[in-house]
Amino acid sequence: MKFKLNTNYKPIPDQSRAIDKLSNGILTGSKYQTLLGVTGSGKTFTMANVIEKVQRPTLIISHNKTLAAQIYQEMRELFPQNAVSYFVSYYDYYQPEAYIPSTDTYIEKDSDINETIDKLRLAATANLLTRADTIVVASVSCIYNIGSPREYGNFVFEISEGMKITREQIIDRIIDLQYERSDFGFNRGTFRVRGDAIDIYPAYLDEGIHIETDDKFIKKVELINPVTGSLIIHHQSPSTSFILYPAKHFMTNPESYKEVFEKIKEDLNIRVKELKAEGKVLEAHRIAQKVTYDLEMIQEVGYVKGIENYSRYFDGRSPGDAPFSLIDYFNEPYKDKWMLLVDESHMSFPQIRGMFNGDRSRKQTLIDYGFRLPSALDNRPLKFEEFMRRVPNFIAASATPNDWEVSLSEGKVTELLVRPTGITDPLVEVRPVKNQVSDIIEEIKKITSKGQRTLVTTLTKKTAEALSTYLNEQGLKVQYLHSDVKTLERTDILDKLRSGEYDVLVGINLLREGLDLPEVSLVAILDADKEGFLRSDVTLIQTMGRAARHVEGKVIMYADKVTGSMQRALDEVKRRRKYQAAYNKKHNITPTTIDKPRREKIIEYDSSERGAWVFGNKEKVFDSLPHLEIDAMTPMEKRRLVKNLSKEMRVAAQDLNFELAAEIRDKIKEINV
How much of the chain exceeds pLDDT 70, in percent? 87
User: What is the per-residue pLDDT for 605?
Assistant: 47
Residue 511 has pLDDT above 80, yes or no: no
What angle do helix axes 43-54 and 13-27 make, rounded to 10 degrees? 40
User: What is the per-residue pLDDT for 262?
Assistant: 96
How much of the chain exceeds pLDDT 90, in percent? 51
Higher pLDDT: 666 or 191? It is 191
Which of the four pLDDT bands, split at 50, 70 and 90, describes residue 608?
very low
Question: Can you tell me the mean pLDDT for 650-666?
Answer: 71
Q: Which of 13-22, 471-480, 521-530, 595-604 has the lowest mean pLDDT?
A: 595-604
**Residue whose C-alpha is closest to residue 390's, from 352, 346, 343, 360:** 352
- Residue 524: HSE in the Cβ half-sphere, 13 Å Cα cutoff: 26
Higher pLDDT: 596 or 479? It is 479
Give the residues across from 136 on adjacent strands. 59, 85
Backbone angles phi, psi at 310, to 5 degrees: -110, 5
What is the DSSP track for 471-529? HHHTT--EEEE-TTS-HHHHHHHHHHHHHTS-SEEEES-TTTT----TTEEEEEETTTT
Neighbours of 629 (CB within 10 A): 7
CB 415 within 8 A of CB 387: no
Neighbours of 383 (CB within 10 A): 17
How many residues comprise the chain?
673
CB 139 within 8 A of CB 62: yes
Beta strands 427-431 and 58-62 are unpaired
For 462-508, the pLDDT digits (tens) are: 888 899 999 999 999 998 876 556 555 667 788 888 889 999 999 88
Beta strands 105-107 and 98-100 are antiparallel
Question: Can you tell me the mean pLDDT for 26-39?
Answer: 91
Show Cβ contacts of residue 547 under 8 Å, excluding neighbours closer than 6 positions. Answer: 426, 455, 520, 521, 522, 523, 553, 554, 555
User: What is the per-residue pLDDT for 478?
Assistant: 92
CB burial string 149-179: b at 16+ within 10 A, e below: bebbbebebebebebebebeebeebbebbbb
User: What is the per-residue pLDDT for 101?
Assistant: 84
- Residue 660: HSE in the Cβ half-sphere, 13 Å Cα cutoff: 25
Residue type, 210: H
**DSSP structure class, residue 631:** G
User: What is the per-residue pLDDT for 616?
Assistant: 34
- Residue 148: HSE in the Cβ half-sphere, 13 Å Cα cutoff: 17
Show Cβ contacts of residue 225 under 8 Å, excluding neighbours closer than 6 positions. Answer: 207, 208, 231, 232
User: What is the per-residue pLDDT for 494?
Assistant: 81
**DSSP structure class, residue 161:** T
For 393-414, the pLDDT digits (tens) are: 999 999 888 888 888 888 778 9
User: What is the per-residue pLDDT for 659?
Assistant: 65
Question: Can you tell me the mean pLDDT for 595-614?
Answer: 50
Q: Torsion angle of alpha carbons 319, 325, 329, 331, nearest 10°?
A: -70
Residue 18 has pLDDT above 90, yes or no: yes
User: What is the per-residue pLDDT for 497?
Assistant: 87
Indicate the average pLDDT of the chain: 86
Helical spans, DSSP H, in 411-479: 436-449, 461-473
User: What is the per-residue pLDDT for 622?
Assistant: 55
User: What is the per-residue pLDDT for 234?
Assistant: 56
Q: To 5 degrees, how large is the angle CA 8–CA 24–CA 31?
A: 120
The enclosing H or E element of 662 equals helix 658-672
The radius of gyration computed from the CA coordinates of the chain, to the nearest angstrom, equals 27
User: What is the per-residue pLDDT for 339?
Assistant: 97
CB 34 within 8 A of CB 402: no
Give the residues across from 429 on adjacent strands. 556
Beta strands 504-507 and 453-457 are parallel
CA 282 to chain centre: 37
User: What is the per-residue pLDDT for 100?
Assistant: 81
Burial class, 437, CB count within 10 angstroms (exposed 0-12 / middle 13-18 / buried 19+): middle
Question: Can you tell me the mean pLDDT for 304-314?
Answer: 90
For 151-210, the pLDDT digits (tens) are: 888 888 989 999 999 999 999 999 989 899 987 788 888 999 999 999 999 988 888 999
Residue 559 has pLDDT above 70, yes or no: yes
Give the residues across from 520 on adjacent strands. 453
Backbone angles phi, psi at 244, to 5 degrees: -95, 125
Distance CA 605, CA 302 (A): 32
3-state secondary structure of 228: coil
For 38-96, the pLDDT digits (tens) are: 877 788 999 999 999 999 999 999 988 878 888 998 999 999 999 999 998 766 666 67
- Residue 326: HSE in the Cβ half-sphere, 13 Å Cα cutoff: 30
Distance CA 523, CA 531 (A): 19
Distance CA 78, CA 7 (A): 6
Residue type, 644: N
Distance CA 61, CA 410 (A): 22
Beta strands 197-201 and 190-194 are antiparallel
Burial class, 564, CB count within 10 angstroms (exposed 0-12 / middle 13-18 / buried 19+): exposed
Max mean pLDDT among 86-95, 437-446, 543-552 falls in: 437-446
**pTM score over 0.75:** yes
Residue 284 has pLDDT above 80, yes or no: yes
User: What is the per-residue pLDDT for 302?
Assistant: 84
Distance CA 487, CA 659 (A): 13
Handedness of CA 383, 385, 390, 391 (dihedral sign): positive
Question: Can you tell me the mean pLDDT for 351-361?
Answer: 87
Which of the four pLDDT bands, split at 50, 70 and 90, describes residue 654?
low
Question: Can you tell me the mean pLDDT for 618-623?
Answer: 48
Residue type, 488: L
What is the DSSP track for 250-273? ----GGGHHHHHHHHHHHHHHHHH
Beta strands 339-343 and 208-214 are unpaired
Show Cβ contacts of residue 99 under 8 Å, excluding neighbours closer than 6 positions. Answer: 105, 106, 107, 365, 366, 369, 371
Question: Can you tell me the mean pLDDT for 435-454?
Answer: 94
The enclosing H or E element of 275 equals helix 257-277
Q: Which of 14-28, 112-126, 345-359, 382-396 has the lowest mean pLDDT?
A: 112-126
3-state secondary structure of 603: coil
**What order do you get walking across the sheet with 32-37 strand by strand?**
83-87, 134-139, 58-62, 339-343, 394-398, 32-37, 413-416
Which of the four pLDDT bands, split at 50, 70 and 90, describes residue 113?
low
User: What is the per-residue pLDDT for 602?
Assistant: 61
| Euclidean distance between the first and the last CA atom of the chain, given in angstroms as a whole number | 64
Which of the four pLDDT bands, split at 50, 70 and 90, describes residue 513?
very low
198: left (phi over 0), alpha (psi -120 to 50) or beta: beta
For 36-54, the pLDDT digits (tens) are: 988 777 889 999 999 999 9
Q: Which of 22-36, 106-120, 197-211, 368-382 has the lowest mean pLDDT?
A: 106-120
For 94-104, the pLDDT digits (tens) are: 667 888 887 78
